[in-house]
Amino acid sequence: MEKNSKILRILIIIILILLNVFILVNHLIKENKQNETYIENKINTNIIDLENDIETENQIYEETVQNTTQVIQDQISNMNEDERVQAYFGEFIDKIENKNYKEAYNLLNEEYKKQYFPNENDFENYVQTTYPKGNLAVKYNSFDRKGEIYTLSVTIYSITNSDEPQLSQTIVIRENGVNDFKISFSK
């Protein structure tokens, strides 16, 4: 009997140890799941916060662009027509001077582009070989209007390199609306 009693005690101890191990493992699994849920919630919250921040920054950017565009529209609409047309051509020259050839190319009249500059590289090569180098200035020699078509006679020269030859051109600007224009020029 004593032997049976020892075995029974050992069995009870083993069962209690196994029960404690089982309870501990369950507790650890539950705690791990809670940590995973917490981390997952935290990640989701951070993602939502980032998305909101990006959306807010995009809205601020869009509002800034709209406000800037409106200020430019207001300034241009308050100019008389020769100042307005000179501002359009000044924008074109500024893009050339800053080597923003794609943007300058996009200001050209579509039919004019097809005839003289079928692609952007043709235009860029023309500008690089024809226009003076350095900081450019424009002398406006004459101004004429026929409907929504404006004609300017200009002399383009470098203010930083007096050795550069001047370029005389006739510029044609078609104004479709305030700050909505297309350019072509004598070649």
pLDDT in tens, 65-117: 676 666 666 676 677 888 889 999 999 999 999 999 999 999 999 999 999 99
Average pLDDT, the chain: 84
- Phi, psi dihedrals of residue 173, rounded to the nearest 5°: -125, 125
What pLDDT was estimated at residue 14? 81
Which SS3 state, helix, strand or coil, does residue 142 take?
Answer: strand
H or E segment at 138?
Answer: strand 136-146
Question: Which residues sit opposite 169 in a β-bridge?
Answer: 154
Residue 137: closest CA among 109, 167, 171, 103: 167
